[in-house]
A and B are shown apart, each in its own frame.
Chain A
Amino acid sequence: MSTAVEKPAPTGNGLNRKKSSSRKGKKAWRKNVDITDVEQNLDELRAEERTTGGKVHQKANDALFMMDTAGDGKVQKELRKNRPLKMDEILAERSKIPAVSGRHKAVTTSAPINAATATHKANAKISKAEKARLLDMIKRRTSTSLFAPVNKPLGRSGTTDATKAAGRFDVWGSDGEQKQEQEQEQDSDDDFVGEIVTKVSVKAPRSFKQKQKVSLPAVKEAHPGASYNPTMQDHQGLLRLAHNEELRILHQKEKIDSKLAYPKELDAMIAFDDQTGGLLEDSNDEEEESEEEEGEDGEGDADAPKPKKKGKKSIAERNRLARAAETAKKEAEIKRHKELIKQTNRVKEIIKTVEEEEAEMEAKRLENEQKREEKEKAGMKRVGRFNIPKERIHVQLQDELADSLRQLKPEGSLMKDRFQSFVERNLIEPRVPVAKRRRYRLKTYEKHSYKRFDNPNHA
């Protein structure tokens, strides 16, 4: 048998090794050889002969077996009774290996059969608060509930994990350096090519460290007149400032209004038009007429004297011209020489004027530079699409001023003040609230049962 070949008689080998007695010579062989298996076999054969009256393997098949053609009817009947449907059989065909539990379905039955009972239970039961907390992390919520948390991506709420983590260690001390080193190490650990490819730390550009040119303080000094109990003089000063500002705004508005208004001159023109009976048409006619006149002039050019035709110059003429050129050249030379002598006489003066001019230019340049610097310090007047709005001067009138701290009514909103400060210092672009626009125009339909007769579209 093949199995016997694969396992080469472990027992026999073991016994032989155990005894390890000598089998040298016939006597020793007879004494020490193990014949138990042979004896066992012989015993079995003898037992067979006792029961069957001969050796089984020597008998013929007919003597040993007979054909059962009828079978057991009872068993057959019982089997047929309990046989499952084919359909059920097919459905019941399942692998014994459990499926990968990736998706969980909420199980409604009280006693789930699945192995992943725990996860199902966890899915089924979750508190409202927990659910809200989880939903809070999602960027866009589909819920239309009025009390649903507002959509917010990472860190929209003002307090994030970053703010919570603040103040746990000294950033500027050795702790901070250690922490940063640790983080760098972690980064390199995550990277499986870390050992081969070293990360290059990115240097901040010079422009990043360069301070902004705007130099306005974060907290502007308050005008002394803005005290809750100011002196008369200071208060008047502040009032004047506010008044001037208000006037400026008013003038600006008037200017715009006047530009947008219907011009009165038009009225006068129309009135004049009516009197004369169509001035505009007349003017057109005149133009046409003038054009026509011009055309006529063009035709009349034929009478004008023609320019002389250029012919070959005579020798005498050429000589004359040459002489004239030479004298002109000489005269120019003399003139230049004279001028030079004149200038050499007043070299000092010229040097002085040149120096003066240079100094003036230098002064002007410095002045311009200073002006530009001041302008830059005051900040950009416009960032992006919108102008930076001017800060409103908050002031309380004489009768609004409080007699004591208890009766004080604060003026203005500090939130707006802060925002304005950010915008003024050019930290952010000025922003204008944008109203939601309709994407498409609304169509109105009129039903047979209800018609709006005031609708202009109504026909």
Chain B
Amino acid sequence: MGKLHKKGKAGAAINYITRNQALKKLQVTLADFRRLCILKGIYPREPKNKKKANKGSTAPSTFYYAKDIQYLMHEPILGKFREYKTFAKKMAKVMSKGQYSTAKTLAENKPIYTLDHIIKERYPTFTDALRDLDDALCMIFLFATMPKTEKIKSETIENCQRLAAEFQHYILHTRSLRKTFLSIKGIYYQAEIKGQTVTWLVPYQFSQDVPTDVDFRVMLTFLEFHQTLCGFVNYRLYSDVNLVYPPTLDLKLDEGGAGMNALIIESTQSSANIAKTVNQPITSTVAASLSKEEKQRLQESEKRLKALSSKIAHIQETEDNSTTAEVDQDADSAMDEFPAPLPNLDGTAAGTVTFTDIQKASQHLTHFQSLFSNCVIFLSREVPRYSLEFVLRALGAQVGWDAVLGEGSPFDENDDRITHQISDRPTQGHRFLSRQYVQPQWAYDCINAGKILVGDTYFVGKTLPPHLSPFVEAKEGDYVPDVNQFEGQTEDLAIESGDEDEEDEDEEDEDEDEEDADEDEDEDTEHKDLHQIELEAEAKGVAFTEFEAKENKKKTKATKAAKAAEPATSAPATRSAGKKRTAAEAEAEEAKELAKIMMTNKQQKLYTKIQYGKDKKAAEVEKLTKKKEQLAKSAKASANKKAKK
């Protein structure tokens, strides 16, 4: 006979511990236990057999790993909780006796705990922290828009707003925004930070109702942890791109509702220079009615602004120059070596990744990051600045706004440089001819499409095209409407930036539409090439319309040639290849047949089922594509008629 085993001495019985047992062991209240678990990242677990884990009882209870709880006993925060308890007792005693001076000295020695050791423990590397940033960002952006209630302090809201603004500035600075989506819940943003995809959800800034059936004690504990995490992450992000952290807050702008612009972003390299320039004589035009303190504060902020604005402009200039230079270089090299079409951002080749692939991807990325770099965009007063400014500036646009939307706009509505004005009203009263009027959705769709779309479809008062989710990834054989939808609707800003009338623009758009009807997917690169040639032509002094006509002829030839050349060089799986491929195809089919024979009856049935579904899907796709082709044809015909007239 083997050794006798006592019941409840091994296995699940000692590996798990119920919540109440844990409370007794740690000698804390339930509320403190909850907070500790949230901060420390200890979550309930599910034993395979609850009965074995709970001494034969099947009563519902929450289980934790016993070793986790044992480890929790050594947590310094637990000690701080206890210290605070005694402190609160002392304080209550002293206050009830009216011994306020003693209370003050007591308050100075209030036990304080920090969470940095927990952050380090839970996220040993910075990448780990970035992976878990989604949660933190969602919470911080959510609480930044919350109203002050008795549960949510104004201090908390302000801190969240600061953290959110800091993070947004980092995204702007590094241009790492990738996708946006306007849903009925809120606005989704996706950014890529150091190779990690970070997604967060921001509520629309309407009056938020504070729900009653949510436990705010839990939420605030999460928020506390997330604030700490976000603070440390921001510090690291800023220091990685040589920015000063924390950025100083311009009080005047903040009061004026400048939002995230109230933060002054400084580079660490230039901070020494700034210190010198601050010593300029102060000239302020502050109203005499202001109090002394306020005056001083305003003076200070103005002083800073004056000194900094020039500095920042300088920094931005140098940066822009460098980036544009890089883009140019890349473009040049690409034209020389890789005339092939650019792949999509996510459509990287599945097989081996070659150097050229990487180069292509990076080139595409730089192009995407400076998507709006030629745009000067003005926001009317009815559009959501908090989102649009972020989104547009994240891809290089210069953004100004109506005074109603807050202080600090770099230019006003009458500025000549403005290329686009975003407004969201049924009709636009006064119009500047030099700019395009578009609805807010245009900006988001441009980002998701990765190119600047024609503003006409988004003109003020027009019925908008549907706003598609960028998060949907098409499976094999799916009908993808959005890829083709915007085909031929891209806009060339280099052309537009010249002095032209609206009529010209219209013509040009139509022309483009015509071209694009017979263009293929590789139009992207062609556009690029076109840019270059156009610019050259402009420099020579050729009129645009003449140039356009020439170019049209060239293009049609080129596309034909490209079409002919394409199958020979690439894509062994297209229909037009002809004889060579039929042999291969036949072989594949044969193999398939053989495999089918080898299948069991059950498997065969399943196979036919799957095949049936696939065929059905394919038929539907074909139907849709045919429909689309027809529509395109009719559209082309009507456009031709128009042109003739």
Could you list which residues of chain A lie within 8 angstroms of chain B, going by C-beta atoms? 103-104, 106, 119, 122-123, 126, 130-131, 133-135, 137-140, 142, 150, 153-173, 176, 179-180, 183, 202, 204-208, 212, 217-219, 221-224, 226-231, 234, 376, 380, 382-385, 394-396, 403-406, 408, 410-419, 421-422, 426-429, 431, 433
Contacts and interface: CB of A to CB of B under 8 A. Distances in A.
Interface in B196-252: 199-201, 203-204, 206, 208-215, 217-224, 227-232, 234-236, 239, 245-246
Contacts of B232: 166-167, 170-172
A122 B94 CA distance: 14
A417 B188 CA distance: 14
B185 A415 contact: no
B503 interface: no
A405 B383 contact: yes
Nearest to A201: B74
Interface of B: 19, 31-32, 34-35, 38, 42-46, 60-62, 65, 67-68, 70-71, 74, 80-81, 84-85, 87-89, 91-92, 95-104, 107, 110-117, 119-121, 123, 125-126, 129, 132, 134-135, 138-139, 142-143, 146, 150-153, 155-156, 159, 181-186, 188, 199-201, 203-204, 206, 208-215, 217-224, 227-232, 234-236, 239, 245-246, 382-384, 424-425, 439-441, 463-464, 466-469, 471-472, 481
Given A122-B100, A134-B91, A157-B153, A404 B464 contact: yes
A123 B99 contact: yes
A154 B201 contact: no
A380 B46 contact: yes
Given A380-B46, A416-B214, 15 more contacts: A119-B101, A133-B107, A137-B110, A153-B84, A170-B235, A205-B68, A208-B68, A382-B60, A384-B19, A385-B61, A395-B184, A405-B182, A406-B425, A412-B185, A426-B43
Contacts of A205: 65, 67-68, 70-71
A219 B231 contact: no
B235 A167 contact: yes
Contacts of B188: 219, 222
B424 A414 contact: no
25 contacts: A133-B107, A134-B103, A137-B91, A138-B92, A153-B31, A157-B155, A159-B153, A163-B231, A205-B65, A208-B71, A221-B469, A222-B469, A224-B468, A228-B467, A234-B466, A384-B19, A384-B61, A394-B184, A395-B184, A405-B441, A408-B184, A412-B185, A414-B186, A427-B38, A427-B43
Nearest to A116: B101
Nearest to B110: A137
B35 A155 contact: yes
Given A158-B223, A229-B466, A384-B62, A414 B201 contact: yes
B596 to A, nearest CB: 21
Given A150-B151, A222-B181, A138 B95 contact: yes
A135 B45 CA distance: 39
Contact of B129 (A172, A380, A394): A172
Contacts of A414: 138, 142, 185-186, 201, 203, 208
Nearest to B60: A385
Instruction: Pick the most buried of A161, A226, A415: most chain B CB atoms within 10 A of its CB.
Output: A415
B464 A137 contact: no
A204 B71 contact: yes
B208 to A, nearest CB: 8
Nearest to B482: A231
Identify the 4 closest CB pairs spanning chains A and B, nearest first: A166-B231, A167-B231, A205-B67, A122-B101
Contacts of B110: 137
Contact of A228 (B99, B183, B206): B183
Given A227-B181, A411-B185, A418-B219, A202 B159 contact: no
Contacts of B67: 205-208
Given A126-B100, A176-B120, A405-B439, A230 B201 contact: no
A172 B236 contact: yes
Instruction: Pick the most buried of A179, A406, A414: most chain B CB atoms within 10 A of its CB.
Output: A414
A123 B183 contact: no
Given A134-B95, A410-B186, A418 B65 contact: no
B633 to A, nearest CB: 22
Nearest to B152: A158
Given A167-B246, A227-B466, A134 B104 contact: yes
Nearest to A226: B183
**Overall SS of chain A's interface:** loop
A173 B232 CA distance: 11
Instruction: Pick the most buried of B61, B116, B142, B441: most chain A CB atoms within 10 A of its CB.
Output: B116
A138 B96 CA distance: 11
Given A153-B32, A229-B466, A419 B119 contact: no
Contacts of B215: 419, 431, 433
A163 B99 contact: no
Given A137-B88, A157-B220, A418-B142, A208 B156 contact: no
B51 to A, nearest CB: 15
Contacts of A218: 132, 134-135, 138, 199
A138 B203 CA distance: 35
Instruction: Pick the most buried of B61, B91, B112, B114: most chain A CB atoms within 10 A of its CB.
Output: B114
A410 B115 CA distance: 35
Nearest to A404: B424
A426 B181 CA distance: 27
Contacts of A413: 208-209, 211
B220 A158 contact: yes
Contacts of B70: 205
A346 B2 CA distance: 41
Contacts of A140: 88, 92
Given A150-B150, A172-B126, A227-B183, A156 B228 contact: no
B15 to A, nearest CB: 8
Contact of B218 (A123, A202, A221, A428): A428
B2 to A, nearest CB: 28
A428 B120 contact: no
A158 to B, nearest CB: 4
A166 B234 CA distance: 10
Nearest to B35: A155
Given A162-B114, A222-B185, A417-B185, A156 B217 contact: yes
B68 A415 contact: no
Nearest to A432: B213
Given A140-B92, A219-B201, A396 B184 contact: yes
Given A205-B70, A229-B464, A426-B43, A162 B201 contact: no
A255 B151 CA distance: 40
Given A222-B469, A427-B43, A165 B114 contact: yes
B151 A123 contact: no
Contacts of A408: 182, 184, 204
Contacts of A431: 215, 218
Contacts of B468: 224, 227, 231
B151 A165 contact: no
Contacts of A119: 101
B162 to A, nearest CB: 10
Given A406-B382, A410-B206, A219 B134 contact: yes
B384 A405 contact: yes
Instruction: Pick the most buried of B125, B200, B214: most chain A CB atoms within 10 A of its CB.
Output: B214
B184 A415 contact: no
Given A170-B239, A228-B183, A138 B101 contact: no
A122 B101 CA distance: 6
A46 B110 CA distance: 82
Contact of A226 (B117, B184, B220): B184
B153 A158 contact: yes
Contacts of A122: 100-101, 104
Nearest to B184: A411
A235 to B, nearest CB: 9
A285 B48 CA distance: 52
B20 to A, nearest CB: 11
A212 B466 CA distance: 39
